[in-house]
């Protein structure tokens, strides 16, 4: 049982990483915005004491060069530190991050940022010398322009990487706040069978419901309470009946929820087949889930009884009009409480 696997410190650590991620990753600017910021921030250098016009311009140019490179390298270093480097391979949140974000691409983007920081510092060193050695105003002007041109072209080369990081940031922000230690029901089944509608009916979550497959793009989290007990319900995007290695990123999130979070799986079947999937496909998927997660209790539920009521002895509900959902919740609570007792056996008196 999941409770028995202590791992609580790891879980807390991961939660800490994700919570911080949501707060800490700053808005990622485009390369043009970074350049604009660098030019806006250029300080006015006080050079009244300069002995000639050439010296005055030279001093000014050195000050501006320093200020521009400082602004840019500060931004790049801040971005570099804001993203996590994930070395662990296990755990729901880590694996989820790897599913929703191409971590190798992120790694590549981060090292490109490091490269750019170094390159800009090198340019600063080289051009400070060139500015110091310029013999007249024309030469100084040429060197100065050359520096800004080269600096901008380094930043421009980060265009694709910054864009990727901005998208990754949005993905990180979407990662749901799951309570990895709370008794949890994961809702599984084909797309369109009514998982989200059920989650909405029995919990606090307000998922998106629509009559087309994979409306739910990621994992949704809701809660329900019975007395003082709180339970977590996970809405999944649905699974198709196919081998694990052919699953797409959306489906993989459902697989991870089953693997790491489920104490109980509610497997929704739609005998009306208005979901667009035949019952034999749905039963095939049910078998696959059962084979892959032999230790997790599965409650089989037929939804959409308002459209079709089969003769089977499975629990029957209509997520649309609420029929049978109270009985399902009672069954869930009974099952979850029994699992909890099994994991934390009461001491004998
Ligand atoms: N008639 C009927 N339609 C339902 C029922 N439950 C869900 N639906 C409809 O089925 C479609 C898919 O529902 P949704 O909850 O988004 O399915 P999901 O993809 O499994 O999350 C929507 O149009 C729902 O309104 C039900 O009990 N009866
Ligand atoms: Mg859904």
Q: What is the pLDDT of residues 298-328, one digit of tens each?
A: 999 999 999 999 999 999 999 999 999 999 9
Q: Which two tokens stand for residue 111?
A: 């090292």
Ligand with minimal distance to 213 CA: 1
Q: Which domain holds residue 142?
A: 20-174
Q: Provide the percentage of residues in the chain whose pLDDT is more than 90.
A: 66
Size of the chain, expressed as the number of residues it contains: 349
Q: What is the secondary structure of 59-81 as a DSSP string? A: HHHHHHHHHHHHHHHHHHHHHHH
In this prediction, residue 89 carries a pLDDT of 64
Residue that the structure tokens 């019975």 belong to: 226
The alpha carbons of the chain give a radius of gyration, in whole angstroms, of 29
- Left (φ > 0), alpha (ψ -120 to 50) or beta: where does 216 sit? beta
Q: What is the secondary structure of 272-331 as a DSSP string? A: T-TTS--HHHHHHHHHHHHHH-TTSEEEEEE--TTT---SSSSEE--TTT-TTHHHHHHH
Candidate ranges 37-51, 200-214, 319-333; pick with highest mean pLDDT: 319-333
pLDDT at 213 over 60: yes
Quick check: is 179 in a domain?
Answer: no
How large is the greatest C-alpha to C-alpha distance in the chain, in angstroms? 100
Residues 6 or more apart in contact with residue 259 via CB below 8 angstroms: 92, 293
Give the three-class secondary structure for 266: strand
The reply to whether 237 and 98 lie within a common domain is no
State the distance from the centre of ligand 2 to the C-alpha of 209, rounded, in angstroms. 6
Number of separate domains in the chain: 2
Residue 194: pLDDT band (50, 70, 90) is very high
In this prediction, residue 278 carries a pLDDT of 97
In this prediction, residue 51 carries a pLDDT of 81
Instruction: State whether the beta carbon of 272 lies less than 6 angstroms from ligand 1.
Output: no
pLDDT at 41 over 80: no
Main-chain phi, psi angles of 184, to 5 degrees: -130, 135
Fill in the DSSP letter of residue 346.
Answer: P
The reply to whether 247 and 306 lie within a common domain is yes
State the distance from the centre of ligand 2 to the C-alpha of 217, rounded, in angstroms. 8
Instruction: State whether the beta carbon of 308 lies less than 6 angstroms from ligand 1.
Output: no
Rounded mean pLDDT, 42-52: 68
Task: Report which protein residue has its CA nearest ligand 1's atom 13.
Answer: 194
pLDDT at 10 over 80: no
Instruction: State whether the beta carbon of 319 lies less than 6 angstroms from ligand 1.
Output: yes
Q: What is the pLDDT of residues 147-169, one digit of tens each?
A: 999 999 999 999 999 999 999 99
Quick check: is 2 in a domain?
Answer: no
State the distance from the centre of ligand 1 to the C-alpha of 301, rounded, in angstroms. 14
Q: What is the pLDDT of residues 129-142, one digit of tens each?
A: 999 999 999 999 99
Q: What is the secondary structure of 13-43 as a DSSP string? A: HHHHHHHHHHHHPPPPPPHHHHHHHHHHHPP
The reply to whether 63 and 170 lie within a common domain is yes
pLDDT at 23 over 60: no
Ligand with minimal distance to 275 CA: 1
Ligand 1, residues 188, 193, 197, 270: which to mutate, most atoms within 8 A of Cβ?
197
Q: Which atom of ligand 1 is nearest to the CA of 318?
A: 27
In this prediction, residue 25 carries a pLDDT of 85
Domain of residue 96, CATH code? 1.20.120.1190
Rounded mean pLDDT, 234-257: 89
The reply to whether 109 and 218 lie within a common domain is no
Give the three-class secondary structure for 268: strand
Rounded mean pLDDT, 259-270: 96
The reply to whether 105 and 221 lie within a common domain is no
Residue 93: pLDDT band (50, 70, 90) is confident
Task: Report which protein residue has its CA nearest ligand 1's atom 22.
Answer: 211
Quick check: is 116 in a domain?
Answer: yes
Instruction: State whether the beta carbon of 238 lies less than 6 angstroms from ligand 1.
Output: yes
Q: Which atom of ligand 1 is nearest to the CA of 190?
A: 20
pLDDT at 27 over 60: yes
In this prediction, residue 5 carries a pLDDT of 44
Quick check: is 134 in a domain?
Answer: yes
Residue 112: pLDDT band (50, 70, 90) is very high
- Of 51-55, 84-88, 193-197, 304-308, the poorest mean pLDDT is in 84-88
Q: Of the residues 174, 199, 224, which one is the last residue of a structural domain?
A: 174
Domain of residue 320, CATH code? 3.40.50.300
State the distance from the centre of ligand 2 to the C-alpha of 216, rounded, in angstroms. 4
The reply to whether 170 and 192 lie within a common domain is no
The reply to whether 149 and 255 lie within a common domain is no
Instruction: State whether the beta carbon of 143 lies less than 6 angstroms from ligand 1.
Output: no
Task: Report which protein residue has its CA nearest ligand 1's atom 10.
Answer: 194
The reply to whether 110 and 135 lie within a common domain is yes
Q: What is the secondary structure of 209-226 as a DSSP string? A: --SSTT---S-EEEEEEE
Residue that the structure tokens 């921030």 belong to: 41
pLDDT at 14 over 70: no
In this prediction, residue 178 carries a pLDDT of 86
């Amino acid at each position: 049982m999941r409770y028995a696997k202590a791992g609580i410190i790891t879980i807390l650590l991961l939660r800490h990483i994700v919570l911080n991620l949501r707060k800490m990753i700053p808005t990622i600017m485009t390369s043009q915005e970074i350049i604009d910021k660098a030019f806006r921030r250029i300080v006015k250098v006080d050079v009244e004491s300069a002995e000639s016009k050439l010296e005055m311009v030279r001093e000014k140019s050195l000050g501006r060069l320093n200020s521009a490179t400082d602004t840019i390298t500060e931004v790049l270093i801040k971005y570099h530190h804001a993203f996590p480097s994930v070395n662990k391979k296990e755990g729901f949140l880590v694996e989820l991050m790897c599913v929703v974000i191409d971590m190798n691409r992120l790694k590549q983007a981060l090292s490109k940022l490091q490269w750019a920081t170094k390159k800009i510092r090198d340019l600063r060193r080289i051009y400070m010398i060139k500015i110091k050695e310029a013999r007249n105003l024309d030469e100084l002007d040429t060197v100065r322009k050359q520096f800004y041109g080269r600096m901008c072209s380094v930043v421009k080369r980060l265009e694709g990487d910054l864009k990727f990081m901005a998208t990754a940031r949005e993905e990180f922000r979407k990662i749901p706040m799951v309570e990895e230690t709370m008794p949890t029901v994961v809702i599984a089944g084909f797309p369109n069978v009514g998982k989200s509608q059920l989650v909405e009916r029995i919990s606090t979550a307000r998922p998106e419901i629509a009559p087309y497959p994979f409306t739910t793009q990621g994992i949704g989290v809701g809660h329900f309470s019975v007395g003082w007990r709180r339970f977590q319900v996970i809405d999944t995007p649905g699974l198709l009946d196919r081998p694990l290695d052919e699953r797409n990123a959306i489906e993989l999130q459902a697989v991870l929820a089953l693997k790491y979070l489920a104490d109980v799986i509610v497997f929704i079947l739609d005998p009306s087949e208005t979901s667009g999937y035949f019952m034999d496909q749905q039963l095939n998927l049910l078998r696959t889930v059962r084979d892959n997660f032999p230790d997790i209790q599965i409650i089989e539920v037929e939804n959409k009884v308002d459209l079709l009521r089969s003769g089977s002895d499975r629990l029957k509900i209509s997520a649309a009009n609420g029929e049978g959902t109270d009985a399902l919740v009672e069954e869930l609570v009974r099952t979850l409480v029994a699992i909890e007792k099994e994991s934390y056996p009461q001491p004998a008196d």
